[in-house]
Structure 1
Amino acid sequence: MLTQLHPGRLDEAGFLKIMLRLQGEPGYRVAGIEADGRVVACVAFRVTETLSYGRHICIEEIATLEAYRGRGFGLALMDYVRETGLKSGCSVLHLNSGLARTEARRFYHHYGMAITSFHFRMDIPVALRSSSPSSLANAQE
């Protein structure tokens, strides 16, 4: 279900391995909606706390199978996450949305969400992933 958000990035076994690990982390949750005998919409989110947002709830993944869109499943999942946030003492609900996901952003705007920041990204080359901390990190200590 959630693999449709990341086509070609993970096979099913890799996806399941990561999901099992994430579900062991504090505050990480997954919820879904079934119809016609299968999961047709799901959300992965976490309750966490940071200096910039305080206690907040972050949707990491949310998806509805294309054939089931427009039936209120996404709305029900968003409401569930928001209610979970309220019960958990969160003051903010946020998520990231890829640039190509115009339809999803339209849905988030309709739900009452606003674009309040930019998300920056930089790939880390494989050769650097296992090396020691950079001189910049050492200089900051």
Structure 2
Amino acid sequence: MNLVMKELKSKNEFIEAFPIMKQLRPHLDENTYLELVLDAQENDHYKMFALLEDNKIIAVTGFKPMITLYYGRFIWVCDLVTDTNKRSNGYGENLLDFVHQWGVQNNYESIALSSGLQRTDAHRFYEMKMNYNKVSYVFKKDLL
């Protein structure tokens, strides 16, 4: 088994990652997904990395470096997903460890993320396996 971390930068690479990302973001069709990724990449410093096993994408993360008064300089993990058929093999940990290393190398102080209330397995992973602290609730209001 040959694992490789790769930054995704082109439309074709983003499209190749869509089947995995769709497992986390089922509300998105391919066109909307691509439009949002390209917009976020161009305007919000969004970065996407994929973990490949034998040249096939098995896990994807999307994150953006940010600065706020609350967190200071930090990385916001927008997306983190491992293919359903490959879960519980350490790939999510591998991705998140990569984001941690990227943050350290680029002088960021912390990592933050939001996880849906229903995702109890993910919460257990973040808290027990990755040593994240639950520090706030995230609130959302739809405007349209």
TM-score by length of 1: 0.82
Bigger Rg, which one = 1
Change (3 A) 1:103 1:86: same
Letter in 2 for 1:81: V
1:27 deviation in Å? 3.0
1:3 corresponds to:
22
Gaps of 5+ in 2: 1-19
Rounded Cα–Cα distance in structure 1 between residues aligned with 2:139 and 2:113: 14
Aligned-pair identity (%): 32
2:10 corresponds to:
none
Change (3 A) 1:37 1:83: closer
Rounded Cα–Cα distance in structure 2 between residues aligned with 1:122 and 1:112: 29
Contact 1:46 1:59 in 2 (8 A): yes
1:36 deviation in Å? 4.8
Give the 4+ runs in structure 1 shifted more than 4 A: none
Rounded Cα–Cα distance in structure 1 between residues aligned with 2:29 and 2:21: 11
Q: Say which structure, 1 or 2, has more relative contact order (CA 8 Å, 6+ apart).
A: 2
CA RMSD of aligned residues (A): 1.3
**CA offsets, 1:83-125, max 9 Å, x none?**
111111111111000001011111101210010101111121x
Give the counterpart of 2:57 among 13, 23, 39. 39
Contact 1:47 1:88 in 2 (8 A): no
TM-score by length of 2: 0.81
Matched, 1:72 2:90: yes
Rounded Cα–Cα distance in structure 1 between residues aligned with 2:43 and 2:141: 25
